[in-house]
């Protein structure tokens, strides 16, 4: 039961994150994203091409307030 709810929650979180990141994609943001979850929390994982500290801050600003944890790294470093 919990596994299905966690999976549905992860899909919802990813869909919402994708919508909120649309303006940054319009500016050329390229990334790979997935969401993992447990009964207690979810984590948005992102691997971003040519990630700068400014872009990482902008991504965090866009996605903050969603009640999830973030794992944002440069795609080259991961």
pTM for the structure as a whole: 0.89
Radius of gyration for the chain, computed over Cα atoms and rounded to the nearest angstrom: 13
**Of 68, 28, 65, residue with least CA distance to 49:** 28
CATH number reported for the structural domain that contains residue 38 in this entry = 3.30.70
How many structural domains comprise the chain?
A: 1
pLDDT for 4 equals: 93
Domain region containing 51: 2-74
Question: What percent of the chain has pLDDT above 70?
Answer: 96
Which of the 8 DSSP states describes residue 41? -
Residue 43 contacts by C-beta under 8 Å, 6 or more apart in sequence?
A: 35, 36, 37, 68, 69, 70, 71
- pLDDT, one tens digit per residue, over 44-57 is 999 999 999 999 99
């Amino acid at each position: 039961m919990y596994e299905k709810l966690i999976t549905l929650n992860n899909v919802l979180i990813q869909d919402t994150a994708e919508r909120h990141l649309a303006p940054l994609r319009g500016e050329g943001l390229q990334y790979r994203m997935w969401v993992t979850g447990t009964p207690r929390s979810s984590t948005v994982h992102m691997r971003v091409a040519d990630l700068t500290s400014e872009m990482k801050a902008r991504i965090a600003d866009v996605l903050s307030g969603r009640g999830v944890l973030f794992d944002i790294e440069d795609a080259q470093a991961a």
